[in-house]
Structure 1
Amino acid sequence: MKWIELADGVFARRYVELDQTLGLVVGGQRCLVVDTGTDEVHGAEFADAIREITALPWTVVITHAHWDHFLGTRPFLPAPVWAHPRCGATMTADAHEQVASWAGKYADAGKPELAERLRRAELVLPDHEVADRAEVDLGGRTVVLAHLGRGHTDHDVVAHVPDAAVVFAGDLVEQGAPPSIGSDAHPLEWPATLDAVVDLGARTVVPGHGGPVDAGFVRGQRAELAVVAGLLDGVRSGTLTVEDALARSPYPAAATRPALERARVA
């Protein structure tokens, strides 16, 4: 784990597990925490690391409702917790299943401690909503929270720090691995949402997993996802088989096949 200073008072913290990246924005009166990690042990470590940088009270934003981004929230309470309205609903509906699935994976991989940490984590729901856009005043610095469209999920929220030209993009952007096109993703709309990310004009974009990137990287990932969207359309219409589409995908078969199979039966 390590801190990366992206601009004055703007930091990313990298973790080996899941190659995850969390965020911190420090203002004059408070700070903003971008995602809280995989479980309460992870969240507590992140909170302690933040306290080495600033003692200011914190506000939390959850970029989307996948367990590795929100199950570390308890150590940050009491604090306002922002997210898209559908994020809280998805947490309520899916958190138990996500925990069971990933705890099983960790147990099977010989990591029982991580499995148990997941099972013990308490679900903390957001209490502030970002339907489209909200501004969080940190004191002399404003962070814009925005839902720019559907992509990795139907409720992705980015945190834009205009004065530092930094955007925390959650899992709308991934570096070091293909984007995760899960069953709750919207790959046909994802390219347009990345256009909106680029249009913010940030010099630095922080993925939910992987290292910070620039706008050129995001444009490249947008182009790859546009190819995938075209392949999905082809499979859905019957003009391409799944195997033909896999051969044309910019991503490995394991990353693309589930989405193509869903398109085939849609």
Structure 2
Amino acid sequence: MTGRWIEVADGVHARRYEELDLTVGLVVGTERCLVVDTRGDVEQGAELAAAVREITTLPWAVVYTHAHFDHTWGTEAFLPCEIWAHELCAAELAGDVEAARTAWMAHYRGEGKPEIAEAISRTTITAPDHTFTGRVELDLGGRTAVLLHPGRAHTGHDVVVHVPDAAVVFAGDVVEHAESGFTASSFSDETDLTAWPDALDAILALEPGVVVPGHGDPVDAAFVRYHRDGLHELITLKAGLGRGETTEVAAVAASRYPADVTSAALATP
């Protein structure tokens, strides 16, 4: 369950976990700190909260990069605090999440990880109490964290966190750093494949030196550009498939991504 910290800039940290290859973040100012995502259950969140306290005792706020369980269900240990997110993320987490809880409990029991399933059963899921739609700045004391909605991408409510003085962007699952860049789970019925490259362009426009993905090790701008171009190729393949100009077999063969990743992207709405 334990993770490891990576200091990507002065007072800006990524924390890496083997479980789901997850990466969360911490931005430390002089007056308070910002925790970027809180992991996936009450026990995982408590571990993260304790790890943050090893770095700073400052008051904290939390931001969700999107509503998926592995990024938001660990918040209980941080309360009371401000919780920031896109307004559509708030709507999703304030709704009926019990079907998702049941599904993830079954998933972990099937993986032979009953302790995670049990922790999920005890988890209180906390909706954000501070929301926005486009952009908001948080003063942490001596530095600003800018919360941005880069447009529809992995979900319709993705948020990235820009730390301008450190040239760092926490990208959530708008950027993933698996072996092939994306995984099949990067794409779902929530994904806007056509808009996703524009979201990556919005990140690149911030001129980041370091981009911290929602899964995997930190990357640079060249990595983001490579996968933006890859998404454009997937969009072209999907359009050709829709017009009947190619087959899925041919599209998979032409893709720079593995077959499962390509097929998942082609299946997006």
Say whether the fold is shared (TM-score over 0.5). Answer: yes
Give the match for residue 66 of structure 2: 64
> Residues 128-167 of structure 1: matches in 2 within 5 Å?
128-167=130-169
The alpha carbon displacement at 1:47 in A equals 0.4
TM value normalised by structure 1: 0.95
For 1:161, the aligned partner's letter is: V
Indicate the residue corresponding to 1:250 in structure 2: 256
Q: 2:198 — aligned with what?
A: 192
Question: Displacement, 1:242?
Answer: 1.9
AA aligned opposite 2:42: E
CA apart distance, 1:259: 3.6
Q: 1:209 aligns with which of 207, 215, 235?
A: 215
- The alignment of Structure 1 onto Structure 2 pairs a total of residues equal to 263
CA distance in 2, matches of 1:150, 1:28: 33
Structure 1 segments of 4 or more deviating over 4 A? none
What residue identity is the alignment partner of 2:236? G
1:222 is the counterpart of 2:224: no
- Alignment match of 1:169 (pick from 168, 171, 174): 171
One-letter amino acid matched to 1:89: A
> Aligned in 2, Cα 1:99/1:250: closer, same or farther, shift over 3 Å?
farther
* Secondary structure of the structure 2 residue equivalent to 1:122: coil
Deviation at 1:238, TM superposition (A): 2.1
Residue 67 of structure 1 contacts residue 95 of structure 1 at CA under 8 Å; is this kept in 2?
no
SS of structure 1 residue aligned to 2:211: strand
Q: Structure 2: which amino acid aligns with 1:221?
A: H
Structure 1 gaps of 5+ residues are none
**Unmatched 5+ stretches in structure 2:** none
Deviation, 1:94, is: 6.0
Equivalent residue letter for 2:129 = D
> CA-atom RMSD, angstroms?
1.3
How much does 1:260 deviate?
A: 2.2
TM normalised by structure 2 equals 0.94
Between the aligned partners of 2:44 and 2:188, the Cα distance in structure 1 is 24
- 1:179-215 per-residue CA deviation (whole Å, 9 max, x = no partner) reads 5011111111101110110110110000000000000
Q: CA deviation at 1:76?
A: 0.5
Matching of residues 1-266 of structure 1 within 5 Å: 1-93=3-95, 95-177=97-179, 178-179=182-183, 180-262=186-268
Q: Which amino acid aligns with 2:122?
A: R
Q: CA deviation at 1:262?
A: 4.7
Distance 2:256 2:91 in 1: 33
**Counterpart residue type for residue 60 of structure 1:** V
Q: Which amino acid aligns with 2:37?
A: D
Query: What is the Cα deviation at residue 224 of structure 1?
Result: 1.0
The one-letter code sitting in structure 2 at the alignment partner of 1:52 is E
Note if contact 1:235-1:242 (Cα within 8 Å) is conserved in structure 2.
Answer: yes
**Structure 1 counterpart of 2:251, one-letter code:** A
3-state SS in 2 of match to 1:52: helix
Name the CA distance, whole Å, in 2 between partners of 1:161 and 1:135: 10
